[in-house]
Structure 1
Amino acid sequence: MQDFNSAAATKESGSILVTGATGLVGSHLIANLVNQGKKVKALYRSQIPDIQHAAQIQWVKGDILDIQSLEDALAGVSQVYHCAAMVSFNPAHKHILYKTNVEGTANVVNACIDAGIEKLLFVSSVAALGRIREGAPITEQMHWTADTSNSEYGKTKYLAEMEVWRGAGEGLNIVIVNPTIILGCSDWNKGSAAIFKNVYNEFPWYTEGTTGFVDVADVVDAMVALMHSNISSERFIVSADNITYRQLFNLAATAFGKKQPHKKVSPLMAKLVWRVEAIKAMVTGSNPLLTKETSATAQAKVEFNNSKLLQYLPAFTYRSIPETVQRICNEFKQKYQLT
């Protein structure tokens, strides 16, 4: 175990490459690095995105599924943050999930080995740990199994981790983070940010399921600290606290000045809804609002043990969830000019 306060920083002679730069984690990471005066490179597919600090980033046209573009992007790079991934629980997206999350990560690992990268930090997920485990806290010692993971997404993140560990076996310096549900201001039509949109629109339903939540700023701070440390070949759960979905919804409703959800979703009701949504998706080709996987996850009572990261980085502290939710709601109000 390394003490972060005494760990020597890795060399910073080259640039830093960030994949998935436009996502929730990637965009906040880039802002953090640019504010520190770091030289940052990022991949883009067709058009340079209009995000904060875009003008201060060296954009390289490419894709993690394009090996040649990856090799070009790694020229002059010493550190890589691999944040790019597809998050979907729609059965129709199974093929692209495997292509992006598994094959794409294998490409990144291989390119890093060939380029002699000093360190690769991979953003995985607690889904790779097999997060449907009630009765015992989930730790980094746990791994995906068919019995404890309810999603193809979780399986792809587990297989992606196996590619990263393969890289470690071939001499690549790596570290992995496994965040719980990440809270942050971004496009609230996508991912976890949609929670805030639903609360603002006074969606009446809630579940009593429990899971871990964490501020995107904490995820980024942990990533940067781990990158700059001598910690290697370790994985870390990144989670501020375990609370119910209802508690989170209520915090957001209060921050927005909206009515709190007041109708409980029973397990039977959830099963009926995801089946109806599956049929609707088949007929219309749209994404289902609820799937079998997300239904089970929302009902599960799961706790994550975050002690390992705090042992390795004793100077690190988490932001409180109430403070995080209040700040994010204020950011959404400004972003979407909400009243």
Structure 2
Amino acid sequence: MILVTGGTGLVGSHLLYNLLKTNDKIKAIYRRQHKLELVKKVFAYYSSDFESIYKKIEWIEADLIDIPALQIAFKDVSYVYHCAAFVSFEPDKYHQLRKINIEGTANVVNLCISHQVKKLCYISSIATIGHHQNPQQLITEDTIWNQDDDNSVYAITKYGAENEVWRGTQEGVDAVIVNPGIIIGPGLWHSGGSSSLIKKIYKGMPYYTHGVTAYVDVDDVVRAMVSLMQSTIKNERFIVISENLSFKEFQDLTAAALGVKPASKEATSIILGIGWRLDWLRRLLTGKRRRFSKQMTKSAKSITKYDASKLKNRLDFEFKPMQVSIKETCQLFLEDLNREAKDPSGR
């Protein structure tokens, strides 16, 4: 029996579809009932028989910090894909991030130990890997994390979650960690995650930066996770990225695929500095969620290039080119947009 946490997320929903091709015994955890419709939506991209495929999943309502509910979910489970996480870069969400990402992962690891789970796959982030002083030097799995750096609250808690997984490996649980870049894929356009980038660019993003980071298609993330779980590889981490692109390059490719105007104004350091301060003030005056933090401005300017050679060599793995991934994802976005325009009710 396989258990997937975070089954209603971008990675979780695509992972479930992949797993159901070859395995009927799948459990998945969800927190909100309405999110289950998003899973069906993702399945519908790939199969007209999505309803019958979806019905094969044994859904369990549980929270990562609700141990009694998790106990029920772990019954008869041999393999676990831990995809659930709280994603936020808002500094005032730090304690909530710790609760879900670190404490929640500790609970999952402890249950893996007590239920003698054979193998655990944890989806982390490239945010938990250190950086080089030389921006042109490729970052690998061996690049050391600097805890004294000005890391985002999200990165800090995902790093703490990784430490819980490594603790589990010392207590008898075989595990692999995947560290993907920004994940591109269809379905969760309104979630606020990486999929919402497509929606934001469609609506118009006037500013760009020359910062560089790594991107990867959601299907490649899923294939890497499943391949690692099915292999004899254990207690290692793997960077999962297709290409390093500047934010301008990504925005230009996406705008072209959507048929909209690309960003035309560079967000200079001065503009970014004013931006995050105004956003802080808006939060103070209105109580609305932060959209732009100091750490986000730093990332927007940083040149960080990652190397996925370890995964490529160990699994003979080939990635989908990002131009193809962006084009495919944008096509599905436009189809959904057209469908919503014809039937706003979503029927």
TM-score normalised to the size of structure 2?
A: 0.90
Contact 1:132 1:297 in 2 (8 A): no
Matches of 1:335 and 1:240 in 2, distance apart? Answer: 26
Name the SS for the 1:337 alignment partner. Answer: helix
Contact 2:131 2:144 in 1 (8 A): no
Aligned-pair distance for 1:196? 0.9
Deviation digits for residues 215-236 of structure 1, max 9, x if unmatched? Answer: 0110000000001000000000
Name the SS for the 2:11 alignment partner. Answer: helix
Dislocated runs of 4+, deviation >6 Å: none
Look up the match of 1:11. none
Deviation digits for residues 237-263 of structure 1, max 9, x if unmatched? Answer: 000011111111111111111111110
Instruction: Say how many residue pairs are matched.
Output: 324
RMSD of Structure 2 on Structure 1 (CA): 1.6
Look up the match of 2:271. 269
Aligned-pair distance for 1:164? 0.4
Contact 2:4 2:16 in 1 (8 A): yes
Aligned-pair distance for 1:55? 2.3
Is 1:215 the counterpart of 2:201? The answer is: no
Contact 2:90 2:153 in 1 (8 A): no
Contact 2:105 2:164 in 1 (8 A): yes
Query: Residue 231 of structure 1 is aligned with which of 233, 247, 267?
Result: 233
Name the SS for the 2:297 alignment partner. Answer: helix
Is 1:57 the counterpart of 2:68? The answer is: no
1:66-145 equivalences under 5 Å are 66-131=66-131, 134-145=135-146
Matches of 1:73 and 1:119 in 2, distance apart? Answer: 16
Look up the match of 1:282. 284
Matches of 1:55 and 1:272 in 2, distance apart? Answer: 50
2:124 corresponds to which letter in structure 1? S
Name the SS for the 1:41 alignment partner. Answer: strand
Matches of 1:101 and 1:180 in 2, distance apart? Answer: 18
1:306 corresponds to which letter in structure 2? A
Look up the match of 2:45. none
2:58 corresponds to which letter in structure 1? Q
Contact 1:17 1:77 in 2 (8 A): yes
Identity, % of aligned pairs?
42
Matches of 1:149 and 1:233 in 2, distance apart? Answer: 28
TM-score normalised to the size of structure 1?
A: 0.92
Unaligned runs of 5+ in 1: 1-14
Aligned-pair distance for 1:139? 0.8
| Greater RCO (Cα-Cα under 8 Å, separation 6 or more) | 1
Deviation digits for residues 35-80 of structure 1, max 9, x if unmatched? Answer: 2343210112352622225422101121111112112111111100
Look up the match of 1:8. none
Deviation digits for residues 192-230 of structure 1, max 9, x if unmatched? Answer: 122211211122111110010000110000000001000
Moved more, 132-141 or 208-217: 132-141
Matches of 1:145 and 1:21 in 2, distance apart? Answer: 32
Deviation digits for residues 262-315 of structure 1, max 9, x if unmatched? Answer: 10000111011001001101221212221111111011011001101111101x
Is 1:195 the counterpart of 2:193? The answer is: no
Aligned-pair distance for 1:186? 2.7
1:27-46 equivalences under 5 Å are 27-46=13-32
